[in-house]
Chains A and B, each alone.
Chain A
Amino acid sequence: MKLYSIAVLLKTPEGKGKILTSQNELSSFGYFQRATVGEFMTFTNKILVERTATSSRASVKEQEYICHVYVRSDNLSGVVIADHEYPQRVAHTLINKVLEEFTEKCPQAQWSSVKENEVPFAQLKDYLQKYQNPKEADAMSKIQSELDETKIILHNTIEAVLQRGEKLDDLVEKSEGLSMQSKTFYKTAKKTNRCCVIL
């Protein structure tokens, strides 16, 4: 059971995903893979927020990972990346909590003007640590009541989230957030079919 990352994003009026703050926990990855994995997490966060409709929830499986997304009605969004063992409802509760607290710390007016990934939000790191074990985070008991009525849409791959005509390979190729190294990593990982990197 593992949480890999939490991110708070803004879905801009143009439909782009803008990261406001994010936190990764990559110690389980190989030393040389961490940078690449981090880049791919950011990449995935954006792709998912951009393709999830406002005020809806989704959980997207991809290999041994599940990405939980929630885009609120005010377009503030949260993405949690975890493994298959991690309880889905806890992940979505966590997103709710983080988004609420974030709104308190950083009012809506600032969202569009702040620079990418530069909002100070130290609590995120604590959340990532605390929720590694959902039982200790005392999240199990309250889940049922706290989660609103919004239905969680399930997708089996990231490809399934993409719009018609979009290809994951092309998106990776075109992405500016991914370094050359990460792109080669993606290609070789895909060729040898090793599931070492997200996507």
Chain B
Amino acid sequence: MDLNNAFKRDPLIDEYDILPVVEPKHNRSPFILENHKLGVEAWAMKVLLKYSLNRLIGWRSRNPSDQFIDPMDICNLSRAVLLFNADNYTAWNIRKELIENGTLSLSDDLAFGALVLSKYPKSPETFIHRRWLFQQLLDYCLSSSSGSNTSCSAAAASNEEALVNMEAIDVDVGAHPELGDRLHGAFSLESSRLLKSQTLRELQVCTQAAERYQCNYHAWSHRIWIIKHCLNCSLQVLISELETTNKWTSNHISDHSGFHFRQFLLRELHNKKSRLQSSHAKSSTYFLLAEMDYVADLIKSYPDHEALWYHRRFVFQELLKKEHIEEGFKQRRLELTGQEQPEFSYESNITDLRSLLISQEIEICSVQSSEKDACKGLDYLLGKNYVHWLQSL
């Protein structure tokens, strides 16, 4: 088949699309390969999808005529199906089996999934399949490490413990090159490299998918999954993710999913506050206050976006938690006076401080909305709703 030839000719295809050619016009291959991009004429897509799906299902249901297909052909058939119907989970499951019996390699399938996501950036089945692949990759790394390196067999015995060592994976490779080597404690050299490069690649895949489809919840929640499972939510990763997505969200101000991801990061930072304090000498409140300034600035620059106001609600609500109120006041005080105040009892008047914060926030917002004065646009309404919400706290 021509499709297989195309992939053989250029294994680096990084994008594909369906061309609007409704009928075969000439006696030529309906596949066009240019610059690592594959174009498939629409009529051929229909024929191909029907044929591949029938044979694949036939093989699956042990049809006598389709009984004995070469495993490589199964692989190609499932590829043809998934290129045009990314959410066919039978086909994805067949590929899982192919990986288990060694016909297909993990990294090949990861690359193929990335290709599918370039066309269908929101396909949930594709993301779920990738999670399975990463689970396999993690298992493989753990088992290979226990075999090759006896000193860490104890770590390998417990998933949890071994993963802690992965803290050292740095998302921003350029920034901390010296940290890359710390992985060796847990995994053998080769498998840790593989895992590291695939994880970094995966974060790129998520960014691309988010770029291609706005409010791509699947892409962002997959990113959360990767950070939790493959990077074990390490502080370094959380902080560098906060930095890298900063630019992305300021360019995609109406993307709820992007902001939701930042909320996850902030929450995780808070969960690890004691380690954050000891290793980075920063409190989780520090990040929340910075986020508040960030979102306030965005709201000012780009009126009329609901996502920003909702993000502000989240940040403010977090700041109202008891430990943040104390910490926040300490910090603000430090900024104002430049020195640490002598012990000040916050315990007694925590409720006072809370209502003080709320009234300050209300004041800020009412000043802003009165500046916008007469033009009672969408942003005026959003600001009013926010103040209303504040009053109900």
| Contact (Cβ within 8 A) B250 A85 | no
- Counting chain B residues whose Cβ lies within 8 A of the other chain, the interface size class is 20 to 34
Of the candidates B17, B20, B22, B252, the one whose C-beta lies within 8 Å of that of A1 is: B252
Say whether A184 faces chain B, with CB atoms less than 8 Å apart.
yes
Say whether A51 faces chain B, with CB atoms less than 8 Å apart.
no
| Contact (Cβ within 8 A) A85 B35 | no
Contact string against B for A residues 178-199, beta-carbon threshold 8 Å, 1 for contact and 0 otherwise: 0001001101110000000000
Q: Which of B185-200 contact A (CB under 8 A)?
A: none
Of the candidates B15, B20, B212, B305, the one whose C-beta lies within 8 Å of that of A85 is: B305
| Contact (Cβ within 8 A) B301 A32 | no
Once bound together, how far apart are the Cα atoms of A87 and B20, in whole Å? 34
Of the candidates A33, A140, A184, the one whose C-beta lies within 8 Å of that of B22 is: A184
Known A85-B302, A135-B301, A188-B22; judge A32-B252 contact (CB<8 A).
Answer: no
Say whether B254 faces chain A, with CB atoms less than 8 Å apart.
yes
Of the candidates B17, B211, B253, B305, the one whose C-beta lies within 8 Å of that of A30 is: B17
Known A31-B17, A185-B20; judge A140-B301 contact (CB<8 A).
Answer: yes
Residue of B nearest to A31 (CB): B37
Say whether B42 faces chain A, with CB atoms less than 8 Å apart.
yes
Of the candidates A28, A84, A134, A188, the one whose C-beta lies within 8 Å of that of B20 is: A188
Say whether B124 faces chain A, with CB atoms less than 8 Å apart.
no
Say whether A133 faces chain B, with CB atoms less than 8 Å apart.
yes
Nearest CB of B to A188, in Å: 4
Known A31-B37, A84-B254, A85-B305; judge A188-B17 contact (CB<8 A).
Answer: no
Contact string against B for A residues 150-192, beta-carbon threshold 8 Å, 1 for contact and 0 otherwise: 0000000000000000000000000000000100110111000
Once bound together, how far apart are the Cα atoms of A48 and B19, in whole Å? 28
Known A30-B15, A32-B39, A133-B251; judge A184-B211 contact (CB<8 A).
Answer: no
Counting chain B CB atoms within 10 Å of each CB, which of A30, A33, A189 scores highest? Answer: A30
Say whether B34 faces chain A, with CB atoms less than 8 Å apart.
yes
Of the candidates B39, B211, B254, B302, the one whose C-beta lies within 8 Å of that of A28 is: B211
Contacts of A1 in B (CB 8 A): 251-253
Once bound together, how far apart are the Cα atoms of A189 and B19, in whole Å? 11
Contacts of B20 in A (CB 8 A): 181, 184-185, 187-189
- Counting chain A residues whose Cβ lies within 8 A of the other chain, the interface size class is 10 to 19
Q: How many A-B residue pairs have CB under 8 A?
A: 43
Q: Which of A11-42 contact B (CB under 8 A)?
A: 28, 30-33
Contacts of B211 in A (CB 8 A): 28
Residue of A nearest to B255 (CB): A85
Known A87-B302, A135-B301, A188-B42; judge A31-B15 contact (CB<8 A).
Answer: yes
Contact string against A for B residues 135-165, beta-carbon threshold 8 Å, 1 for contact and 0 otherwise: 0000000000000000000000000000000
Contact string against A for B residues 1-24, beta-carbon threshold 8 Å, 1 for contact and 0 otherwise: 000000000000001010111100
Chain A facing B: main interface SS = loop
Nearest CB of B to A68, in Å: 16
| Contact (Cβ within 8 A) B253 A85 | yes
Nearest CB of B to A121, in Å: 26
Once bound together, how far apart are the Cα atoms of A189 and B302, in whole Å? 32
Once bound together, how far apart are the Cα atoms of A13 and B108, in whole Å? 60
Q: Which of B220-265 contact A (CB under 8 A)?
A: 250-254
Residue of B nearest to A83 (CB): B214
Residue of B nearest to A84 (CB): B254
Contacts of B15 in A (CB 8 A): 30-31
Once bound together, how far apart are the Cα atoms of A188 and B42, in whole Å? 10
| Contact (Cβ within 8 A) B22 A85 | no
Contacts of A140 in B (CB 8 A): 301
Once bound together, how far apart are the Cα atoms of A31 and B17, in whole Å? 8
Of the candidates A30, A85, A185, A188, the one whose C-beta lies within 8 Å of that of B252 is: A85
Once bound together, how far apart are the Cα atoms of A133 and B251, in whole Å? 7
Counting chain A CB atoms within 10 Å of each CB, which of B20, B212, B254 scores highest? Answer: B20
Known A133-B251, A135-B250, A188-B22; judge A32-B17 contact (CB<8 A).
Answer: yes
Nearest CB of B to A115, in Å: 30
Contacts of B32 in A (CB 8 A): 32
| Contact (Cβ within 8 A) B254 A32 | no
Contacts of B42 in A (CB 8 A): 188
Contacts of A189 in B (CB 8 A): 20
Contact string against B for A residues 138-155, beta-carbon threshold 8 Å, 1 for contact and 0 otherwise: 001000000000000000
Nearest CB of B to A60, in Å: 18
Nearest CB of B to A199, in Å: 14
Nearest CB of B to A134, in Å: 8
Nearest CB of B to A172, in Å: 14
Of the candidates B34, B251, B301, B305, the one whose C-beta lies within 8 Å of that of A31 is: B34
Contacts of A188 in B (CB 8 A): 20, 22, 42
- Provide a sorted-by-A list of 9 A–B residue pairs whose CB atoms are within 8 angstroms: A1-B253, A30-B17, A31-B15, A32-B19, A32-B37, A33-B17, A85-B305, A133-B251, A135-B250
In the complex, besides A31-B34, A85-B254, A85-B302, 7 extra interface pairs with C-beta distance below 8 angstroms are A1-B251, A30-B17, A31-B17, A32-B32, A32-B39, A135-B301, A184-B21
List of 6 A-B pairs having minimum Cβ-Cβ separation, nearest first = A31-B37, A32-B17, A188-B20, A184-B20, A30-B17, A185-B20
